[in-house]
Amino acid sequence: MIQAALEQIYQALGEEGLKKARWQEKMRVWGMLAQVVGVALFALVMVPTGWAAALRDALGGDGTFGALLVVLVLMALQSLFTLPLAWYFDYRVERLLGTGRQTLAGWLLDYLKQGLINAVIFGLFFWAVYLVFRAWPTAWPTAWLPALTGAVALLMLGLYLVQPLVLRAQFKAEPLEDEALNERLRRVFERAGFAYGGVRVLRAGEKTAKGNAALVPRGGRFEVVVFDTLLEEIGPEGLEFVVAHELGHRAHKDWPWMLGLYGLLFVVGIALAHAALAWTAGCWGLAGTGDPATLPLLLLILNAWLLVAQVAMNAFMRSREFAADRYALERVPDLQAFERTFVTLARQNLADPEPPAWIEFWLHDHPSIARRLKAAVRYSRSRCGS
């Protein structure tokens, strides 16, 4: 049964699609490494040259608001510096895969919008980090750790709350016209005990051939947002399953857990950076931990740490995905719809159903499709037997 479903996926992908899917996996690894190398090169250009320190002096970075300015300018410079990497791994790779439909100008506009949203959220966060380090200029973490943890908690809340805004900035949306489908989804919500906030269809097809769906909070309810690309092909049963899966994440409180774990990794990463930055006092014109000119180094340490630490994050998220699949199968016990959904998702997103195990272990926050199918079949059998 699993074999038959896998067979269907390989057939849907075709030889060409499978080649692209495997290439996409490779690019995932190279993109991740290139990101860290880019951040490292930026630090190398800015810090030992004394440019970061000069910038801080020019912008009055010793002051409270000057520090914010230094953080924002350094973040903007880093975005410009790593733009070629983003161009290749976000834009060019999608074009070569045939999934990207944006013009270069359209992509650049999105990159800018995303950069502005990041500037607000992360800019304020890193500013807060430097203010905390200034307020407690000691190596002893018990002094600044509570304040740092508070700043990270606010960052995680900000990242959560900004999600609907990110979607709105990226895609135009319209309400779902299909009343019958609306009614079906309302019933899935009812069975799960959640207040139904309707469906919005994102006009993603102008930009990508890939498919996706999510739930976003809206006034105490959850709204289903679905890419038009996915809606066109997945069918009502498929969408029902996808929505039930997302409700599973909500029922299991995966979001707070995920943000909590991510926040913990952030705190550890910045504490590591604090230890390293303390050593830089007096080098390259830097003044130690409270100096915003150290931002390129802080970002490098944080990025390198997250490159490794994401293994823990991803392992946790994969386990939550299995749990959400089980939750969905309990409420929409239609294994065939489950399988058809994955055939569509694999074909649209050029997903390798059986990626190399080490790549899945390191970089995937979702289990491979083959493993999800196996788990679903095993689960459905055990339910029927009981």
Subset of residues 302 to 341 that bind Zn ion, contact rule: CB under 5 A: 321, 324
Q: 101 or 252: whose CB is closer to Zn ion? A: 252
CB of 254 to Zn ion, least distance (A): 8
CB of 204 to Zn ion, least distance (A): 18
Q: 168 or 252: whose CB is closer to Zn ion? A: 252
Q: 243 or 324: whose CB is closer to Zn ion? A: 324
Sequence-ordered list of residues with C-beta below 8 angstroms from that of 270, at least 6 positions apart, any chain: 129, 148, 152, 298, 302
CB of 249 to Zn ion, least distance (A): 6
Sequence-ordered list of residues with C-beta below 8 angstroms from that of 15, at least 6 positions apart, any chain: none
CB of 308 to Zn ion, least distance (A): 24
Q: 25 or 321: whose CB is closer to Zn ion? A: 321
CB of 208 to Zn ion, least distance (A): 19
CB of 363 to Zn ion, least distance (A): 16
Subset of residues 136 to 195 that bind Zn ion, contact rule: CB under 5 A: none
CB of 345 to Zn ion, least distance (A): 11
Q: 215 or 270: whose CB is closer to Zn ion? A: 215
Q: 94 or 321: whose CB is closer to Zn ion? A: 321
Q: 200 or 249: whose CB is closer to Zn ion? A: 249
* Cα 99 from Cα 335, distance rounded (Å): 28
Q: Which residues lie near Zn ion (CB under 5 A)? A: 321, 324
